[in-house]
């Protein structure tokens, strides 16, 4: 059974799913503001961890020429394929794989989440399904994207080298989701990650799209917070987004140089 949803000025036919009711009710306004500001009509968009396509549909409605869409969850891939076919979205290029620190295979899970919500790579452990894995660089280096969205459920600890390369070489505004509860606190990822993003990017707070007040000190407090549902997180826990604008190509006010 299908239904129709409105995204900006465009209507999409989508398969029945519990999420669409939530999506139509002002879903993630901060994400929409970032996309509205930084997606340039007629340019390409990279969606890393697309789930069932809400951000890809936003990008398309804002005039993205081509959307390269990466999603490892096999259930979500079925939904994405249906949306592409039902709406004649020839501009959507779908890839069924996860992003990790190597090319090969990974387990995504937990298994019970794959059918209805999100899934993550082996940073979370437990049962799941085996999928192809690859590195982000293979996608991010091959196009000229005005916006890159990265939501990979804890696997963001694997992409610090790719973020450094993007900051040095690409004009892409990056919308990055962080998932501290999914990350092993003993993993030595944060210091190299913070060094790279604050050296090469203007780091934006999600709600205001202004530089993160007090910089790395604020990010430390947010990532390592012991609060279950901090004010900057979601109803599900300490999950939040930051915007990254390459200093080489953007000024501190968020405008292209």
User: Taking the mean position of all CA atoms in its chain, how far away is CA 70?
Assistant: 10
Q: What is the pLDDT of residues 2-16, one digit of tens each?
A: 999 999 889 999 999
* Start-to-end C-alpha separation, the chain: 48
Q: Evaluate whether residue 72 is within a structural domain.
A: yes
Q: Evaluate whether residue 18 is within a structural domain.
A: no
Q: Evaluate whether residue 181 is within a structural domain.
A: yes
The span from the CA of 107 to the CA of 120, in Å, is 8
Q: What is the CATH number of the domain that holds 143?
A: 3.40.50.150
pTM above 0.75, yes or no: yes
Give the pLDDT band of residue 113 (cuts 50, 70, 90). Answer: low
Q: Evaluate whether residue 37 is within a structural domain.
A: yes
Quote the domain boundaries for residue 208: 27-102+135-246
Q: What is the pLDDT of residues 115-129, one digit of tens each?
A: 555 555 544 555 677
pLDDT, mean over the chain: 91
The tally of domains found in the chain comes to 1
Q: Evaluate whether residue 119 is within a structural domain.
A: no
pLDDT in the model for residue 126: 57
Q: What is the pLDDT of residues 22-80, one digit of tens each?
A: 887 789 999 999 999 999 999 999 999 999 999 999 999 999 999 999 999 988 999 99
């Amino acid at each position: 059974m299908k239904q129709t949803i409105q995204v900006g000025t465009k209507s999409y036919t989508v398969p029945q799913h519990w999420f669409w009711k939530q999506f139509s009710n002002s879903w993630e306004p901060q994400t929409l503001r970032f996309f509205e500001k930084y997606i340039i009509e007629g340019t390409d968009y990279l969606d890393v961890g697309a789930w069932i396509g809400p951000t890809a549909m936003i990008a398309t409605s804002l005039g993205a020429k081509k959307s390269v869409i990466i999603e490892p969850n096999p259930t979500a891939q079925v939904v994405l394929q249906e949306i592409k076919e039902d709406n004649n979205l020839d501009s959507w290029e779908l890839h069924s794989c996860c992003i990790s620190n190597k090319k090969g295979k990974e387990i995504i899970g937990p298994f019970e989440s794959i059918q209805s919500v999100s899934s993550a790579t082996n940073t979370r452990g437990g049962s799941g399904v085996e999928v192809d894995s690859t590195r982000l660089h293979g996608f991010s280096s091959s196009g000229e994207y005005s916006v890159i969205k990265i939501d990979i459920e804890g696997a963001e600890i694997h992409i610090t080298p790719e973020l450094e390369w993007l900051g040095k070489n690409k004009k892409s505004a990056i919308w990055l989701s962080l998932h501290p509860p999914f990350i092993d606190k003993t993993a030595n990822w944060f210091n190299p990650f913070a060094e790279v993003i604050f050296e090469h990017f203007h780091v934006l707070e999600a709600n205001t799209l202004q530089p993160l007040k007090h910089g790395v000190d604020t990010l430390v407090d947010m990532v390592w917070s012991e609060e279950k549902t901090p004010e900057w997180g979601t109803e599900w826990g300490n999950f939040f987004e930051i915007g990254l604008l390459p200093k080489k190509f953007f000024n501190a006010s968020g405008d292209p140089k």
